[in-house]
């Protein structure tokens, strides 16, 4: 088995190798001051670089010194993207070695601001932009991508970027950021990754009036023309990249659920906002229950938000409850949802299709706080984007009803979190088991330090993708999500739990991703949907093929 067939080997200069100044402009090959004297002579680089030969680690030190000089996180993001455009290997070395520091910059929360200002900070476009004007010629656009072996595609239409809404073509920062994490967190070679934005316009007035906006200046295309463009894209991918794993990212609810339903049994498709969030949410519950000593089937979970993230977690949790012996109907009665109009119950006539299966036979309750006091849940999960919706009264009530209330404020970015870590611990007298979508610093309350867990999808989607690629899976199944959640939860140590931390440190992300990948691939082999032969030691084979950002030698 070979995960990606692109592990870097020694390379001999030839007709396909740029020389001289052209080589320094090619980020996938450029080593900057790390080119050896022998390489400089052979590649026409003498005189184009200062004479001292630097090591990769010395270059990392230089990068970090300049990184810390950035006055804002957005400036640091821009600096890192410029580095990626100059020297791909050095960029990934920096991100990998300092993942806890880099994650909030290359992804949430800073990437959200980068998307909002995309047209204002654009230096070099990365990825493929497919617009509504390109119908009938999508495959021609994809053929312009310089790499023929693509295994992971992250695609967005920019309508629901994080908690920021419709950002149109500016949303391209999200596929790029996700793919950076596929490489840094799971060792998928960057040459296998393709970010795509399907630009069908935007209904964001501010962007339409922004002279620096990079996308189509028109209202969003919807209905049949939209579906035909997406279908053309999927067909083109199947023709050009038949082994590609397609990740739908930040589509609005009305498209996200139906596109996943339409394509998940036809191609190897995955929606991170629904399925990835579901897996990471379930993993957090598994870990939290190691602290409380209770079973998953005993929990009553109240969600604030009934969109992609909430329903996604509900679906994965229900699947896990069924595996523990509950009927599907009984499992769904353990998951309750509050949306913008109150508790999701059968008597309401305004429910969309994805909410109907969770509509409870119960009286209507109009707000979240009332639902907490009426239902007395053991777990509250925020996926609403409603800042500080977990109020003091809500958290105090959770502490009254539960010895160890489980509180997961998962909305991104930090400004949208339903509560802060400090609020969760303070208002529950330090008894909350807390996790958030974006990072919060440790909190000391009455002499005890609590370390918040980060319910970040980066814990699961890179490992799922790696497992899919490793075995050549034809589809993504529900069982893969459950085993990914279980593998993530098992990576949480007893020492982590002692501090209330229900996710492992990000510093261990590669180890975690490899374990998830092996679990996912094992399911694919068991279900008979893997194309690649199974190696004797699956985990070892996956680890052996993970990309390491080190310089290759040009002999």
CA distance to 68, 376, 482, per residue, from 412 (Å):
24, 26, 23
Closest CA to 33 of 15, 51, 8, 21: 51
**107 included as an active-site residue:** yes
| Number of continuous H segments (helices) and E segments (strands) in the chain | 25, 14
Q: Reduced to 3 states, what is the DSSP secondary structure of residue 439?
A: coil
Smallest CA-to-CA distance from 362 within 346, 374, 376 is with: 346
Active site annotation includes 178: yes
What single string gives the DSSP state of each residue in 409-433?
A: E--SSGGG-SS-HHHHHHTTTT--E
Q: What is the DSSP letter of 552?
A: P
The whole-angstrom separation of Cα 184 and Cα 189 is 9
Q: Which residue is associated with the tokens 């960029």?
A: 91
The residue from 178, 416, 474, 543 that is catalytic is 178
Return the closest-CA partner of residue 359 out of 372, 371, 346. 346
- CB contact set of 37 (below 8 Å; sequence gap of 6+): 53
Q: Which of 77, 92, 107, 241 is catalytic?
A: 107
3-state secondary structure of 401: helix
CB burial readout 491-526, b (16+ within 10 A) else e? bbeeebbeebbbbbbbebbbebbbbbbbbbbbbbee
Active site residues: 107, 178
């Amino acid at each position: 088995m070979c995960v990606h067939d692109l592990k870097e080997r020694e390379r001999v200069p030839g007709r396909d190798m740029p020389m001289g100044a052209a080589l320094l402009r090619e980020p996938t090959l450029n080593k900057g001051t790390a080119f050896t004297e022998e390489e400089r002579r052979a590649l026409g680089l003498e005189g184009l670089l200062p004479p001292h030969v630097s090591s990769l680690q010395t270059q990392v030190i230089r990068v970090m010194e300049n990184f810390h000089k950035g006055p804002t996180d957005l400036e640091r993001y821009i600096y890192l993207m410029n580095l990626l455009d100059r020297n791909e290997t050095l960029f990934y070395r920096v991100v990998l070695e300092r993942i806890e520091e880099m994650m909030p910059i290359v992804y949430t929360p800073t990437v959200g601001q980068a998307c909002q200002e995309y047209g204002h900070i654009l230096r070099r476009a990365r990825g493929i932009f497919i617009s509504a004007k390109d119908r009938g010629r999508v495959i021609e656009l994809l053929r312009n991508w310089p790499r023929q072996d693509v295994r992971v595609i992250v695609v967005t239409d920019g309508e629901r970027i994080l908690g920021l809404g419709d950002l149109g073509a500016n949303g391209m920062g999200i596929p790029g950021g996700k793919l950076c994490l596929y490489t840094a967190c799971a060792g998928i070679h960057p040459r296998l990754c393709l970010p795509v934005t399907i630009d069908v316009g935007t209904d964001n007035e501010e962007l339409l009036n922004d002279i620096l906006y990079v996308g189509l200046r028109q209202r969003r295309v919807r209905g049949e023309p939209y579906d035909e463009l997406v279908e053309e894209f999927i067909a083109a991918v199947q023709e050009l990249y038949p082994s590609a794993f397609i990740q739908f990212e930040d589509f609005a609810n009305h498209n996200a659920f139906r596109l996943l339903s339409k394509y998940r049994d036809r191609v190897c498709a995955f929606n991170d906002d629904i399925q990835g969030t579901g897996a990471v949410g379930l993993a957090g519950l598994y870990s939290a229950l190691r602290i409380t000593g209770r079973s998953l089937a005993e929990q009553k979970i109240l969600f604030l938000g009934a969109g992609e993230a909430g329903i996604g977690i509900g679906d994965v949790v229900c699947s896990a409850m069924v595996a523990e012996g509950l009927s599907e109907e009984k499992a769904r009665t353990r998951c309750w949802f509050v949306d913008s109009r109150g508790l999701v119950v059968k008597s309401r006539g305004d429910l969309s299709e994805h909410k109907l299966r969770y509509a409870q036979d119960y009286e209507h309750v109009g707000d979240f706080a009332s639902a907490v006091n009426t239902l007395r849940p053991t777990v509250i999960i925020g996926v609403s984007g409603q800042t500080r919706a977990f109020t003091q009264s809500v958290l105090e009530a959770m502490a009254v009803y539960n010895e160890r209330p489980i509180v997961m404020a998962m909305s991104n970015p930090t400004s949208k979190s339903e509560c802060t870590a400090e609020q969760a611990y303070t208002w529950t007298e330090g008894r909350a088991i807390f996790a958030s979508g974006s990072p919060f610093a440790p909190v000391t309350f009455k002499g005890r330090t609590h370390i918040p867990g980060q319910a970040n999808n980066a814990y699961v989607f890179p490992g799922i993708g790696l497992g899919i690629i490793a075995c050549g899976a034809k589809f993504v199944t529900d069982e893969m999500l459950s085993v990914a959640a279980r593998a993530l939860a098992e990576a949480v140590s007893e020492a982590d739990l002692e501090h209330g931390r229900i996710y492992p440190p990000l510093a261990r992300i590669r180890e975690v991703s490899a374990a998830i990948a092996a679990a996912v691939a094992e399911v694919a082999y068991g279900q008979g949907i893997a194309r690649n032969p199974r190696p004797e030691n699956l985990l070892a084979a996956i680890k052996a093929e993970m990309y390491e950002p080190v310089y290759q030698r040009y002999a």
